[in-house]
Structure 1
Amino acid sequence: MSFIPAFEDMPSFLDDINTLDKLKTILDPDILEQAFEYAGVATVRRRRLPLEAVMWSVIGMSLFRNETVWDIANRLDISLPGKNKLVAPSALVQGRQRLGFEAVQQTFQLLANKAFSTQAFEHWCGLNLLAVDGVSFRTQDNEENRAEFGSDSNQFGEVSYPQIRMCSLMEVSSHLLLDSSFDARRVGEMTLAQRLLPSVPDDSLTLFDRGYYSLGLLHEWQNQGSNTHWMLPARKDLQYQIQSKLSENDHIVTLSTSPQARNKFEGLPGKLTARLTTYQVGGKRYRVLSSLIDPIRFPYDELTEVYTQRWEIELGFREMKQGLHQSKHILRSKKPDMVRQELWGLLLAYNLIRIVMIDALKDNESITPIQLSFSQSMRQVVAFLMFTPIHSPSQLPNHYEELLTTLRLFVLPQKAPDRAYPRVVRRKPTKYPHKRKMPISS
């Protein structure tokens, strides 16, 4: 999805525009209008702080992590012209409450759907590569957040900050988020992953972590659309029957479902057919289970390499937490609904930056968007939003092209093929102090 047509569609007879109009060229006003109508917050009243401005304040909470919401609104100059240029802090609080979180959620989903449907992504054996994984965010420690989200606990009670658990669906060749679902700490990732089913596109392969092994979930995922496949590491205690041998390390197997799973997932059959593939890397043996049972369309050599791309979603989470949030561990909002709004704003800000990075490489087939530095690209996008001259609307496409040209300079070096230091099991701490050895006196 290119932003340039949005610039070119702007009326050329305008002699002056404000910053809010410039921001509208980045985020399609039609998407905002649909989101406001869906959430039931649309209004014809002309406010000093319109909903569009409040939306950008929420997005700015992630783009300007170290600044207050009041400073963000005033720096972006996103209020309507009036006698007083500054926006009162109370007006922003009321504006965020008026906006709610459903409008931000709908904006994120509409933008993600439009971006995925209008861009050409890399394919593997004719399939889009996706990944699903979970991540947690800390919230402000107060009674409302503890009651709403919960936290880790032991025999002494709750022992950590309230946490909100999120599960996301990501396109791995661009790190574009297609959808996310989050809920209280007590809600498992399996449940959250099941909520992502309506967003699974046709002709796709989704890579799961080992912990997502649930025949009910995998069956629903495979039957969600046309050619919606899945893959995950096989458990060590996997029970199966060999249906046919494709090669020594490649089998078509039958998996038996439990009565409990059949009661939980309607339409789950008693047996499922899957493919069990075994391979070695660096002398270590791996097994992956998948729904790719056609050996002609999905050759063995291809299957042994594709699962390594699941780690791209971990890098995407790092970009959000360390890049956008600058390693700030706690979300700034204090009310549960505002926590949800802030988190949807984080996902929306992340996707906006990712879309610009995709746009920068739309005509370059030798470099993928994930080869660009996210942190450097983020800084340039923020600088574009803040400092691009707005006195001449006809020059905005040229400024945007300059932004894309600058982003192409941020190509990362090639990843190291092997770890310099292998992974090791961390020593479990002991509650007893270490006793020093005393020298033996003669």
Structure 2
Amino acid sequence: MAGVPVGLPAGIRLSDHISLGVIAGAVPLARVRKILAETGRASERDLPASVMVYYVIAMALYMGSSTREVLRCLLEGLRWLWGAEAVRVAGKSGISQARSWLGEAPLQRLYEELVQPIATPATKGARYRGWRLTSLDGTCLDVAYTEENRSKFGLPGVSWGESAFPQVRLVALVENGTHVLFGARLGRCAEGETPLAHAVLGALRPDMLCLADRQFFGHALWSRAVSTGADLLWRVKSNLRLPREQVLPDGSYLSTVYPSETDRRHRSNGLRLRVVEYRLAGIADAEPLYRVVTSILDPQRALGAELAALYHERWEIEVALAELKTQLRGARVVLRSETLALVRQEVWGLLLAHFAVRGLMHEAALQANEDPDRLSFSHAVHVLRRKIPHFAALSPSAQACPA
């Protein structure tokens, strides 16, 4: 459940290399203003729309603090630059009105345009034989219990009755080497991950190798993913019919999947794929046999044993989603928004905040010639939280500081 709101930390000793300009660097003010204009949300009220965009992102960094306290902290730098009355800290109702005016669209557009894979050739652990490694998965986030949230998002079923909170479902891709969550789509908790995944897979590119767990495999979704030009490595269920049509030198074999039994009988609309079977000897609770399928049909491009080992990199998205849900949002913390549009706005802000932190970590890893996995996400979040009161990159009006 949500924690008791607390005050934000006072400014203390700061890093020599890290500033909250990181957020403005990840989400540039010029881009914010452009999207606000394009979506018809630009305004210069007591709480300008550009300030509210950064406020929604800052909310994700301080889930345990009150909405008014988050705004006070964000505006502290502005008050120092422009005087005590330049931007006033609004009350809860004023903040809610400003967020409602802003709406979901600008945050979603910013996410879709800015949040992309960021690994460079120098990024350690981001590639396999030239492919950029990505993974597909989903999760659910608890939202505040209101009648609108319950009716719009739904209550997930549990062993006894229903969950205490409505949930929004999130499906996304992750760039394994940097943990950047991109291509995300949001939906009702009852909607299931597969329908959302059809839209998410549109973010794949031909240089990518996408990993996914067995609940995603199906003829339609596999076909959608293959059409992007990316290569795939997905686990499949043990009862899936995969006849051995051609055994390959590395022990893997070629097979064909069909959309229906009628297509199978007529050998129509089939999709050719390669199957790798393996066992995990000496591992407690390991299943008797694991099967993964891949669109890489030539074993010379990727040996079966390598693909079997590589598949377990899929857990990188589990780690990234844990960063989003636990280390950034806070364990068992409920999203605070009470309407459909503001819940979705808050989730886009959460994803943008995660992107800003991960971008910071990637830059630090490159400078230190380290794998980003070796850096602490929690520490990076802590640094940003300490630095926010000293952020003065936004003007109280477009006239005061032109883009």
Give your verdict on TM over 0.5: yes
Task: For residues 291-333 of structure 1, give each alpha carbon's deviation from its aligned partner in whole angstroms, at most 9, with x where no partner exists.
Answer: 1111111122321211011011111111112111121331111
Counterparts of 1:317 and 1:98, CA distance in 2: 29
Task: For residues 148-190 of structure 1, give each alpha carbon's deviation from its aligned partner in whole angstroms, at most 9, with x where no partner exists.
Answer: 0111348997553211111011001110112211111221101
Q: Give the CA deviation at 1:38.
A: 4.0
Counterparts of 2:134 and 2:171, CA distance in 1: 13
Task: For residues 168-218 of structure 1, give each alpha carbon's deviation from its aligned partner in whole angstroms, at most 9, with x where no partner exists.
Answer: 110011101122111112211011101113211221111111100111111
Indicate if the aligned counterparts of 2:149 and 2:338 stay in contact, CA closer than 8 A: yes
For 2:60, which of 58, 62, 66 is the aligned residue?
A: 62
Counterparts of 2:159 and 2:28, CA distance in 1: 51
Supply the AA of the counterpart residue of 1:95. A
Structure 1 position 328 matched with structure 2 position 327: no
Counterparts of 2:143 and 2:279, CA distance in 1: 42
Q: Classify 1:315/1:22 alpha carbon distance in 2 versus 1 (closer, same or farther; 3 Å).
A: closer
Aligned to 2:175: 171
* TM-score (normalised: structure 1): 0.75
Task: For residues 353-380 of structure 1, give each alpha carbon's deviation from its aligned partner in whole angstroms, at most 9, with x where no partner exists.
Answer: 0000001122444x21121110011111
Q: Classify 1:300/1:335 alpha carbon distance in 2 versus 1 (closer, same or farther; 3 Å).
A: same
Aligned to 1:279: 278
Supply the AA of the counterpart residue of 1:375. S
Q: Give the CA deviation at 1:55.
A: 1.1
Aligned to 1:242: 244
Aligned to 1:110: 113
Aligned residue for 2:135, secondary structure, equals: strand
For 1:256, which of 258, 274, 277 is the aligned residue?
A: 258
Indicate if the aligned counterparts of 1:101 and 1:337 stay in contact, CA closer than 8 A: yes
Indicate if the aligned counterparts of 1:20 and 1:53 stay in contact, CA closer than 8 A: no
Indicate if the aligned counterparts of 2:226 and 2:295 stay in contact, CA closer than 8 A: yes
Task: For residues 245-269 of structure 1, give each alpha carbon's deviation from its aligned partner in whole angstroms, at most 9, with x where no partner exists.
Answer: 114731011222217999xxxxx96
Q: Classify 1:21/1:280 alpha carbon distance in 2 versus 1 (closer, same or farther; 3 Å).
A: closer
Counterparts of 2:184 and 2:272, CA distance in 1: 29
1:57-206 map, 5 Å: 57-77=55-75, 81=82, 83=85, 86-89=88-91, 90-113=93-116, 116=118, 121=123, 122-153=126-157, 158-206=162-210
Q: Classify 1:205/1:38 alpha carbon distance in 2 versus 1 (closer, same or farther; 3 Å).
A: farther
Aligned to 1:41: 41
Aligned residue for 1:181, secondary structure, equals: strand
Q: Give the CA deviation at 1:381.
A: 2.2
Gaps of at least 5 residues in structure 1 are 1-18, 263-267, 391-442
Q: Classify 1:207/1:326 alpha carbon distance in 2 versus 1 (closer, same or farther; 3 Å).
A: same
Q: Classify 1:269/1:216 alpha carbon distance in 2 versus 1 (closer, same or farther; 3 Å).
A: farther
Q: Classify 1:144/1:48 alpha carbon distance in 2 versus 1 (closer, same or farther; 3 Å).
A: same
Gaps of at least 5 residues in structure 2 are 1-18, 283-287, 394-403
Indicate if the aligned counterparts of 1:54 and 1:95 stay in contact, CA closer than 8 A: yes
Counterparts of 2:326 and 2:87, CA distance in 1: 33
Aligned residue for 2:190, secondary structure, equals: coil
Indicate if the aligned counterparts of 2:42 and 2:50 stay in contact, CA closer than 8 A: no
Identical columns (%)? 28
Which fold has the larger relative contact order, with Cα–Cα distance below 8 Å and residues 6 or more apart in sequence?
A: 2
Counterparts of 1:155 and 1:372, CA distance in 2: 38
Counterparts of 2:278 and 2:59, CA distance in 1: 45
Q: Classify 1:24/1:308 alpha carbon distance in 2 versus 1 (closer, same or farther; 3 Å).
A: closer
Q: Give the CA deviation at 1:242.
A: 2.0
* TM-score (normalised: structure 2): 0.82
Supply the AA of the counterpart residue of 1:277. V
Indicate if the aligned counterparts of 1:145 and 1:335 stay in contact, CA closer than 8 A: yes
Task: Supply the RMSD in Å over aligned alpha carbons.
Answer: 2.8
Indicate if the aligned counterparts of 1:104 and 1:341 stay in contact, CA closer than 8 A: yes
Q: Classify 1:369/1:155 alpha carbon distance in 2 versus 1 (closer, same or farther; 3 Å).
A: closer
Number of residue pairs the alignment of both structures matches: 361
Aligned residue for 1:292, secondary structure, equals: coil
Indicate if the aligned counterparts of 2:140 and 2:167 stay in contact, CA closer than 8 A: yes
Aligned residue for 1:93, secondary structure, equals: helix
Aligned residue for 1:151, secondary structure, equals: coil
Q: Give the CA deviation at 1:387.
A: 4.0
Indicate if the aligned counterparts of 1:153 and 1:160 stay in contact, CA closer than 8 A: no
Indicate if the aligned counterparts of 2:211 and 2:232 stay in contact, CA closer than 8 A: yes
Indicate if the aligned counterparts of 1:139 and 1:145 stay in contact, CA closer than 8 A: yes
